[in-house]
Each structure stands twice: as structure tokens, then as C-alpha cells.
Chain A
């Protein structure tokens, strides 16, 4: 009895899970595996359109013989690069009509014309013509003929499905793609973006955790950058930072903080004289990181605030009795309480910043030293139109991600053991 019950339970579970699992599998897991396949191929953006045989039907009346009608099919291979094999053609003709001098490649069988056009090379074009005669000698209805669409079919190589593999893409990724520059930019961006957002998150959480007028209002405002649409925010910042008509540069010039406008998003390096040393700051990258911090510190803030509010008040009261100052309280009570949240946040934000695409894409498009790995995927795939290369870069990202996740889950597991 219990055996059948558990069987029913299992079956129900699978039925309930099936739709979700199927969808996730086909939209998320399948593409990740497909990336592996594509990355070993030489595929360009133009190759991914499947070549199709196409026919445009034009119906014309024949002069001085109303019982005849001329049908012209403009045949072509839709692809400019791939051949189509065994092109089959099929079209219907109205009742009481028959074709005159039918092309040798075609056969008529009970009002259906079947043609075998053989192989079409790339860019193939032909005007194929049929003349129809009405057996009863009356006029043929042009509209009726026009309304019937011819059917064409053919076999072609789908470049994605054949088994020609190459290591070219990976060679290019590692040796011709300024790979280490890419990697260091990505890590620089990820690391400072993550640390910055956590530091500001802690500050903001510490603020909001105190009592003051307008505290709930403040909490809502702090989350605005995180919930706002990235497109709107990125363009607003772009406008704000514009070197000539941007508000920030004009303000700084107005108050004589700077003498020359700064191209914050378009200049790769800024040389700063620091006690006689010339320091080279990666200006555009720094600006992008600041945007990143501005947009994502609210998340850190939210997590840390939730944790702070769960810290028992008694701890602070005890510290007061012991005569601890605010700094001491922060270091010995608050920090140990939130360190676990911070480490989780660090890992999560690290992984997500590592994959961040939209923010950089919208602000700089990857120019002036802000090209990270995700930007490179887009550039390779859609700017240079090399799908294979784009996939190869994606694979590199996935592999690095798997390493991060492995570390993350190890840490998570260790923490679970400790508790």
C-alpha cells in the first residue's frame, strides 16, 4: 500500500516538475552545451541562416489567346554562400487546365506539377515558366492561380550540424585577442566593483540602522539605483558625465575644481601627479566601476541591514556597560555579526559583476580600456560577426564561473558545517 503511495507521489512530482525543467533545460542548459559545440566551429553570423529554395509566382495573360496563361516562377537560392541539393518543386493547377510543353524536369500528376530541379549552387537564380491552357477554351481565373502557393524543399548543409571541428577559435581567444589584457580588465572591474559596493553597502546600512527622521524614506531612496532600468540610468549618467555639455564637468569647471573638462567615459588613462610620482589611473574603467558601485551597493545595503537588525540589542548594552566606544562596538560586535553575510555577498556579487554586460555596454560600449570578457563575447559574435569566436569566449567565461562556484559552494558548505 505504502509502496504504491510513494510511487504515486513520485509520479506526481515528476509531472509537476516536467514543464519547468523542460523549459529551463532548453533555454539555459542546452545553450551552454551548444556553446561548446559552436566554439569548435568556424561560423560567422551570415552562416547561420539556413539556405532555402524560394519561388516568386508571377501570373501573366498571353496576348490574343485568353484561354492561355503564362506563369513565371522566379526561382532562387536564398543563400549567397551555401548550396542546396535535390530541390523539389510542387504546385497545383486549376481544374480543366493543362500545361503546354512542360519542362523536362517536371511531371504532371492529377493537377499537381512535380519538378525535380536537382542541385542549386549558392546565389542560383532561374526564371522558370509554365504556360497553362484551358481545356474548355474559356478564360482562366488569374486570381485562383495566384492564390495557390508553390511548395519547395531541398537539402542543405547546416554548417552548425556538420562535424567539421577546429581549434582555431580557442587559439585566437588565447593568442590574438589580447587575452590577458581582457582578463585583467575583467578582474579589475569585478574586484573593485564588488569591494566598493560592499563598503558603501556597510556604510549605508550602518546609517539606516540608526534612528532619525525620514528613515524609511531613506531606505526606499537607497534602493532606487538598483530597481531602476539600467538603460535609463546608464544614459542619464552618460549625459551627466559628458565632457562638454555634461552637468558634472560644467559644475567642476564653474567652481574651479578642474581647469580642463575630463572625458570621464572616453579617456583611457589619466595621469595624476602624486608627490612627484606620475600615477596612471584607468579613467574610463574607474568611472564604469563607480557606476557599478552606485547601482549595486543597494543590494549589499539590503542584505547587511537585514543582518544588522537581527543583532541582539543586549550585545550593545553590554558593551556600553563595559565602556566601549562606537568604533570598538563596530569592530568587536557589528563586524563579526555581519562578516558571514559579507562573505556570501562578496561571492555572489563577484560572480555577477564578472558577468556584467549591460552597464559597460551602455556606458562605453567597451571602448577606452573597458573591454571585459562579456563585452568581448558580444563584440566577437555580433560586431566582428564571428559566432564561433564569441562562443569560445563564452566557454572561457563558463569555465571561470564554474571555478568560482566551486569555491563558493565549498565556502558555503564549510559555513554550514560550522553552524
Chain B
């Protein structure tokens, strides 16, 4: 057995154990448990001890029995350290230890002796570590957003670490922030406006983009190469450099505070990527189909409607979802163009809400949940289409 592999195995596995236990402790603290120390040294020592015993015992014992013994041992020591914790906390620690023991079970004196065993150990534990850490770091803000929206102002001020939600209370009390933003702040209206603008943008963009993409993909005309390069270049120009001239012109034309104005701008900014994505797909459709259609005396309108459209439903769906997402999440233009609360989109409404320092934060978070849920729901449900849209269109963002 290599000494280097042995040390690495002990250290990294116990650091992994420590991080798992620490995350559990953080989450428990947020449920109102009074923990003030991670006990780094003790848990690390325990982890090293357990991983060493695991090596020595090897497979003389049944895997399950071994895990349970480790878990009970650790839970008792940890329980003694933190003193008198609710039973669910200890069950969590027990679960973590079972998981950990199963993970270290595959290491024995033999495979620590192999070539690159130290690297393998590091890589495997880094993977586990990465999965846990990435999930935690990404999900935590979303978790906080939801929890805060169910709290009251007083509860938030008394103990910012208390993330527990009291489900025993009245539904009206629990969802109070949501009732308030819909009643007092007219969020129902903003949802309608946002939906109208986003769906409208999708429809108008597709109506403009499909013929243009077809022309770029199939027809020969003067300036074709120039056009397809400039689509990409135009797409790279950011909204911030368009804002001042558009603001000036829209003010003079009376298009500010007008949902229609917003729709035009969103359509124009998403058109290049929509054309770019669609033309790529149209090119992959076999030409023979259209040649047959031309024989049948179909004009270009007929070709697009009867041949191209039915064949490119997947591509059109990804463009549509992608455009919807951009329009739904868009903030800069809605900030610039809308200053009348009657024509706000959801994003703009939340920003307006936060502009008032008096606004309780749970309302802000309830609003954030309302704007986030639809887009995450659509994303999870249509992930396949959206991911291909994101990859193709991700020059933006």
C-alpha cells in the first residue's frame, strides 16, 4: 500500500465527510437549531479514524453492518458534541454516515496499491464533493427566495436564520405576501402584460423570422453572405448602446409606456438569433422535397407552410421557447420604456417595488417567486427543446 495514496484517501474522504456534515449543520441551523461550531478538528479526526478502520476491516464484515456501526458510532460522538438535538438532526447525521460508508467501502488495501490510485481517490471524492457543493450553491438562493416569501416582517427581523415555515397556520396567513402583491400591487395585471408581451414577441418574431430564414437558407440573392455574417455581428450589439437613441425616438413618437413599443424592440433584438437558428435547421431539410413541390406549382408561401413548417416543428419550438424566455426575463428595456405602473411588466414591477425602501422584503421575494416559477417550469418541462435553443443562441446573454 502506498503511503501517499493512504494519506490522500484518509484526508480527502474525511474532508468530504466534514463538508457533508457542515452543510447539514447549516441547513439545521436554518431550521432554528442552535449550533455554533462545525467542530472541524474532531470531525476530521473521526473521519480519518473511520476511513482507517474501513481499510483495516476490509471486507471481513458485511457492508451494511459495517456502515451501520460507523454511523451509530459517529452519531453518538456528534450527538455528545452538539448536545440534545432533536431526533431528526441525528437521523440526518446517521443518513450521511451511511452514505459516506457506502462510498468509502470500495477502497481497500489492494486498490490503494494500484497505479494512479492517489489521483483516482482525489478525482472520485472531488466529483462527489462537486455534486454536493454545486447543488447547494445553486439551489440555496432559490430555497431562500421561497422561504422568505412565506415569512412575516417581524419573523425576518427577529431571527434572519430561521428558515422554518409554520405550516400549521392559516392558509391566508401563510400566503399573505402573495395575497398582498396580487391585491395591493396588481401583480395579476403584470402577469397578463408580461405574458402578452412574451407570447406576442414569440409570434411576431416567428412571423418575421421564418420567411427570412428560408430565404437565407435556400434562395440565391445578391448580398447573401454579407447578410448571414451581419446577422451574427448585429446580434452581438448589446441593448445598452441602443437604449439612448431608442429612448429619444420613442419619447418623441409617444411609444414609451406602451406595451406595443416594447414588443417591437423585443422582436427586433431577438430576430437575428431566431433567423440564425432557423436557417441552420432549414438547411438540413432535404431539397428534393421542395423540388417536388415546385413541380406541383407551389409558390414560396405554399412551400413554407406545407413543407418547411411541418418538418421543422422541433427547431421552431426551441426558437419559440428561447425567445419567450428572453422576453419574459428582459429587464433593461422595460426599465427604460415603462414608467407608468399601469403598463409594467413583471420584472419592471419587482424593480419598482424594491425602489421603495419601505416595501417588506417578503413581498419582494413573493414577486420574485411569481416571476421565476413560470420560466423554471417551462424550462424543466421543455428542457430538451430549450437546451438546444440555448446552445444555438447562446451568443446572447
Q: Bound complex: CA of A230 vs CA of B211, how far in Å? A: 32
CB-defined contacts of A160 to chain B, threshold 8 Å: 248
Question: Given A24-B268, A28-B234, A218-B131, are A227 and B325 also a contact pair (CB < 8 Å)?
Answer: yes
A280: Cβ under 8 A from any B Cβ: no
Question: Given A23-B208, A27-B269, are A10 and B396 also a contact pair (CB < 8 Å)?
Answer: no
| Contact for A352 among B252, B300, B397, CB less than 8 A | B397
Whether the pair B244, A16 counts as a contact (CB closer than 8 A) is no
Whether the pair B233, A405 counts as a contact (CB closer than 8 A) is yes
Question: Given A236-B141, A325-B116, are A230 and B329 also a contact pair (CB < 8 Å)?
Answer: yes
Whether the pair A231, B331 counts as a contact (CB closer than 8 A) is yes
Q: Bound complex: CA of A168 vs CA of B168, how far in Å? A: 65
B175: Cβ under 8 A from any A Cβ: no
Stretch at the interface among A70-78, A84-92, A389-397: A389-397
CB-defined contacts of B127 to chain A, threshold 8 Å: 206-207, 210, 212
- CB proximity to B under 8 Å, residues A210-224: 210, 212, 218, 220-224
Residue in A closest to B222 when the chains form the complex, CB atoms: A10
Stretch at the interface among A116-124, A127-135, A142-150, A238-246: A238-246
B371: Cβ under 8 A from any A Cβ: yes
Q: Bound complex: CA of A237 vs CA of B148, how far in Å? A: 12
Whether the pair B219, A326 counts as a contact (CB closer than 8 A) is no
A126: Cβ under 8 A from any B Cβ: no
A174: Cβ under 8 A from any B Cβ: no
Tally of chain A residues near chain B (CB < 8 A): 94
Tell me the smallest distance from the CB of A71 to a CB of chain B, in Å: 28
CB-defined contacts of B76 to chain A, threshold 8 Å: none
Question: Given A21-B212, A32-B242, are A227 and B160 also a contact pair (CB < 8 Å)?
Answer: no
CB-defined contacts of B31 to chain A, threshold 8 Å: none
Tally of chain B residues near chain A (CB < 8 A): 104
B83: Cβ under 8 A from any A Cβ: no
Stretch at the interface among B47-55, B90-98, B105-113, B361-369: B361-369
B42: Cβ under 8 A from any A Cβ: no
Q: Bound complex: CA of A16 vs CA of B271, how far in Å? A: 14
A199: Cβ under 8 A from any B Cβ: no
Interface bits A295-333 vs B (CB < 8 Å: 1, else 0):
010010011001000000000000000011111100000
CB-defined contacts of B224 to chain A, threshold 8 Å: 13
Q: Bound complex: CA of A286 vs CA of B268, how far in Å? A: 34
Whether the pair B156, A245 counts as a contact (CB closer than 8 A) is yes
B38: Cβ under 8 A from any A Cβ: yes
Whether the pair A255, B38 counts as a contact (CB closer than 8 A) is yes
Give 26 CB contacts A-B under 8 Å. Answer: A19-B211, A20-B275, A23-B267, A31-B249, A38-B248, A49-B252, A221-B134, A227-B325, A229-B375, A230-B347, A232-B145, A233-B372, A237-B141, A239-B148, A239-B364, A251-B161, A254-B161, A299-B390, A302-B394, A323-B116, A326-B123, A348-B394, A352-B238, A355-B238, A382-B336, A405-B233
Closest 10 CB pairs of A and B: A325-B116, A355-B238, A27-B268, A232-B368, A31-B245, A34-B245, A16-B211, A20-B212, A13-B221, A13-B219
